[in-house]
Structure 1
Amino acid sequence: MDFYKMQGAGNDFVFIEDFNYNIKDECELAKKLCDRHFGIGADGLVIVRKSEAANAKMVIINADGSRANMCGNAIRCFGKYVYEHKITSGNKFSVETGDGIKEIEIILESNKVKYVRVYMGNPSYDGGDIPLNNIESLIQQEIKVNNNTYNITTVLMGVPHTIIFEKDREYNVVEEGSKIEKLELFKEGSNVNFVKVIDETHIRVNTWERGAGFTLACGTGCSAAVVVAKKLGLVDKNKEIFVLAPGGELIIEVLGEDVYMKGPAEVSFEGKTSL
């Protein structure tokens, strides 16, 4: 099996093509390939398939074998993959995901892919969409976990994201994020983003991803953090916001209810696997 290893701001993925639906157990394959000791190693497996609704179809499975509807860094890598492998023509095309059709724009510099810009869709605070357990919404809700108090806002940005702004202290992403992820508030768990506002156009985001753990960047998480920061008036409502994640920088733009993400995507290496 041929594979590509790709990363977007340090969030890494194994890419394989499966146009004829030969893969029988995608989730088990993801666990094997993503294992960093016995496999290739990655935060998730991305399967490239044909689509009847768009120019290509992206299937993403987390390292633990759980499925994800959407991943911002993965879809940027997917856009670069589809463009460079000539699966579609032109620098603007559509991708079918578990979160609907996403529009992709390839931004070139000296005929090479510099950025991939993705239409991320519209955020939702509705408890039924996220989904929450018998709660209409969670916006600046105070909760207590292990004697720690948090003000949380949860939004669906392709997948559920809980946003916590750092004020008096920095948070332990692994210890605190892993506990908040599994609160009974969330029917299907939640990604957790710890956000520091630097100035009106710059924020820092550290993310705990359900199914993957601490990752160097999360595209949907960075998008959700900007959406919530704008809603709460913590950053400029009319400008692009530069988001610094441990693995690199993403640029998020909100136009009305529409959210756009722009950032890098790179090929790390390619090879063959018998897993």
Structure 2
Amino acid sequence: MINFSKMHGAGNDFIIIKAEEIKGVDYSMLARKVCDRHFGIGADGMMVVEDSQRSDIKMIYYNSDGSQGEMCGNGIRCFSKFVYEKGIVKRDVFLVETLAGIKEVKLTIGDDDLVEKILVDMGKPILKAESIPVITQKEIFINEIIKVGDSKIIASSILMGVPHTIIFVNEIKENDVYKLGPQIEKHDIYPKNTNVNFVNVINNRFIEVDTWERGAGKTLACGTGVCASVYAAYHLKYVGKSVDVHVPGGRLNIYIDDDNRVFMEGTAKFICDGKYYSS
């Protein structure tokens, strides 16, 4: 029996478990089981809370298909609310260790001592193609043409902790997300696969994003994807440094500082606590 919490950030839902609950358990196999929406609890991903030797706390993240992710933007907001409200970390500013590096988190705490908003320093995006990685002769992969089936798509790829590919469109069509998303995710030029973000720029302060996540499929929101999308739009001079982003599950606020660091602010919500009877 495993104690867990289920949370969501803008509709991107997660199972969170303390490491002491699952000693000796294969995290990848457990993620596939608990994230299954028919035979498990159901979620886009699973996070494990571990002690850290390098920061205040460590976040281990797995996608619903059992693959490990370096980082998850909506996940880290849920994780941060979890560790604060469960009394594991009782500071409003702290550091979270991830496979994508150490992230600083700042919490807005209400009078009831509950977390109202979470601001995360997501770090600097990496545009260097070989670091994302993208197989190309180009130094950076911005506004380049890739062939997907019979179509030619203009794509931009960025490493925002995890690989992201951004497709700018005049209108986001759900059918394109389901059809093109998985093809681009596993395209030959992306040896580690990629997340795929379809982006509609409304004006220089507001964009819409719909994401096909690597290892999870279409989700209601992707924090790192939103950050990558805003930075790509900023790099191409489509938007300014402060952008509101609408995703199917809600809204996120993103801003870029003078050092090109990307900051994400949004909420996180508890759905339930429960017990999982592992088989």
TM-score, length of structure 2 as denominator length? 0.94
Question: Which position in structure 1 is the counterpart of 2:262?
Answer: 259
Q: Does 1:208 align with 2:212?
A: yes
Question: Which position in structure 2 is the counterpart of 1:96?
Answer: 97
Amino acid at match of 1:186: Y
Q: What are the equivalent positions in structure 2 for 1:175-254 lying under 5 Å apart? A: 175-237=179-241, 240-254=242-256
Q: Equivalent residue of 1:53, what SS?
A: coil
Counterpart Cα distance in 2 of 1:77 and 1:6? 6
Gaps of at least 5 residues in structure 2 are none
Amino acid at match of 2:253: I
Q: Deviations over 1:139-183 (max 9, x none)?
A: 100122122221110000010000010137746101111101111
Counterpart Cα distance in 1 of 2:83 and 2:149? 45
Counterpart Cα distance in 1 of 2:121 and 2:22? 27
* Runs of at least 4 residues off by over 4 Å: none
CA contact (8 A) 1:19 1:50 kept: no
CA contact (8 A) 2:3 2:21 kept: no
The alignment-based identity, stated in percent, is: 45
CA apart distance, 1:89: 2.4
CA contact (8 A) 1:116 1:263 kept: yes
Counterpart Cα distance in 1 of 2:146 and 2:277? 47
CA apart distance, 1:20: 8.0
Q: Equivalent residue of 2:234, what SS?
A: helix
Counterpart Cα distance in 2 of 1:169 and 1:258? 27
RMSD of Structure 2 on Structure 1 (CA): 1.4
Q: Equivalent residue of 1:3, what SS?
A: strand
Q: What are the equivalent positions in structure 2 for 1:96-135 lying under 5 Å apart? A: 96-111=97-112, 112-135=114-137
Counterpart Cα distance in 2 of 1:6 and 1:202? 26
CA contact (8 A) 2:172 2:199 kept: no
Q: What are the equivalent positions in structure 2 for 1:49-68 lying under 5 Å apart? A: 49-68=50-69
Q: Does 1:149 align with 2:152?
A: yes
Question: Which position in structure 2 is the counterpart of 1:40?
Answer: 41
Counterpart Cα distance in 2 of 1:42 and 1:274? 16
Gaps of at least 5 residues in structure 1 are none
CA apart distance, 1:274: 1.5
Amino acid at match of 2:271: S
Closer/same/farther in 2, CA of residues 27 and 169 from structure 1, 3 Å limit: closer
Amino acid at match of 1:226: V
CA apart distance, 1:134: 4.7
